[in-house]
Every structure is written in structure tokens, then in C-alpha cells.
A and B are shown apart, each in its own frame.
Chain A
């Protein structure tokens, strides 16, 4: 079946860039999403990219999509302590456009 994989942990220093990676298996995916989850909170949609794009930039966030390799990344520029959270990659798959979720990458930002 469809699968989404992410590395589980990432630690960066405040002010550095963070890059969170995601790979997926369903080549027919149309929309690919990044969600952020802070402790005790629900999921917040950060950004998304349509499958006919290879890059999308939104302020400090840059999403890169490599459809050939089925690889999605989220770059956060000038990472701040407030960016510490779990970041989930989610990919639309199948005819019913169900979201397939990764396990999440826990980002720790050190002062």
C-alpha cells in the first residue's frame, strides 16, 4: 500500500536552516502537505505543494518536490525556538484522495 517515510529527529541551532525530508511511494499523489504539531496541540497546516510544481516558497518556508525520486522536503530558514515541534508530511493518495501520513519529524531548536 501507500507509504510515507520521514526521519524521526532533527536538531539544529537557532538561526540555522532546518531541512526535513519525506519520501513517499504513490506516484499519483496530487497534493503534498506539511503540518506542524506543537505539544498538546492539534495539527496546523503549514504549507502544501501541487504535484505539477517543483518548488514553493512562503516566507521562511521552502518546499521542494522531486517527483522522479518521490522526495519532498521542507526547509525552514532562520530557525527559531518557536519552530520546535513535530512536522508531519502527508500525501494525498488513491482515487478517494485520502491523506497518507508519515510518523513525523521532531525538530529541536537549541539556543
Chain B
């Protein structure tokens, strides 16, 4: 069955450092992969989408990579700020007409 794993349940880093979150998937080959941010008590918000033929995509301080050989996506936040603290969810494109999310990584940026 299709499976999505995000590296760690929680990640705690110092402000100003780069945060790197990992998303691994098994048993399918998504055409694209999406990353979302969720703040407590709120619905997720779409951040970035990367397609299978793209190695890397950037948006301001965010960068996503997509390695279809490793079946992995990395999500980077450079020059991290306390306001970046949130839960980040990855969602590989599914073969069905629905999106399945990873369990999420709760990122905390300490001042």
C-alpha cells in the first residue's frame, strides 16, 4: 500500500539556521508532490508544488527538492524565524483522486 513518512514528529532548531524536513514515500510514483503548512487550530495552507521532472523549486526562503530515485522530497527553510514554527505536511500526488497527507513534522524555531 502507498505509504508516506515524514522524518520526525518534531524538529527544534535555532533561529537563523536552516530547517530541513524530509518526506519519503513508498509503493507509488507521484507526478508531483506538495508541501503545506498548518498552524494550530487552523486549516493547512498550500506552500509549494514540485513536479517529477523538477529537481528543485524555490519560493523566497523556501526550497523543495524532489528525488524520484530515492522517493524523497526535502523541504528547506533558510534563515529560519520563530514565525516559521508550525507543522509542515507533505502530500505526494496519489493515484486516486484524493490527496493523502504525511503525518507532519512539527517545527519549532527558538529565538
A joins B in a complex: no
